[in-house]
A = this chain, B = another copy of it.
Amino acid sequence: MVTSFDKYKQDVLGKKDKSSIGDTDEKIKSLCDKINSMKDYYTTSSCSGRITLVKDNTKKLPGLFLWRTHEKTSFGELKLQLENSKFAKDDSGIVYFKQEPCLLVVSCRNSESQKKLFDIARNNGWKKSGIISTDKRLIIELISAENISLPIINNGEVLVDDNYLKFLVKEANKKLELTWKKIEKLNSLMLTTLD
């Protein structure tokens, strides 16, 4: 029997990735594919972790992101992106540098499968995970904990010196590597625990 879950799953996976980046980013693709190959789950959103320059605004408006990458960065690249961002028009004038952790939003067939995947993720480093919908659609948001977030530009002026930028790049890259390890771990656990 085709349930409404199956129909939604078919619809969602049939559509192209709607994120503004385009395709699912490479480092989380294998985990997404694995989840989508299982009868009880499908992913609706994913990010392998990223480094961004973003306007400090509580509302999600278009043009909020001045730069974003899912790869490790370098001092040279960050300097260039800061130069580009300095001249971006912005209400408050404040731009944040952020390193954000990996994220997956997963729709689940029933409360049993929802609880199962949630518990595995939360107990294996995806510490900011939560169940976010328990009625019509059963949704979990799986998020790891790596995080850097600081004001870096105010009114066109970069607020920290080059030595700090070099240190920051090392820290952000280190935390991206940590977040990728969480993806690998969940990927290997999916094989042994849920199949």
Contacts and interface: CB of A to CB of B under 8 A. Distances in A.
A122 interface: yes
Interface in A144-172: 145, 147-151, 154, 159-161, 163-164, 167-168, 171
Interface string A36-71: 000000000000000000000010000000000000
Contacts of A194: none
Contacts of A130: 128-132, 141
The number of times this chain is found in the oligomer is 2
Nearest to A168: B151
Given A111-B134, A129-B132, A160-B160, 15 more contacts: A58-B145, A115-B134, A122-B132, A129-B130, A130-B141, A131-B132, A134-B134, A148-B151, A149-B149, A149-B150, A150-B168, A151-B168, A151-B171, A159-B164, A160-B164
Interface string A134-147: 11000001000101
Contacts of A171: 94, 151
Contacts of A132: 122, 129-131
Contacts of A149: 147-150
A171 B56 CA distance: 11
Interface residues of A, number: 29
Nearest to A129: B130
Contacts of A164: 159-160
A134 B164 CA distance: 44
A135 B115 contact: yes
Nearest to A147: B149
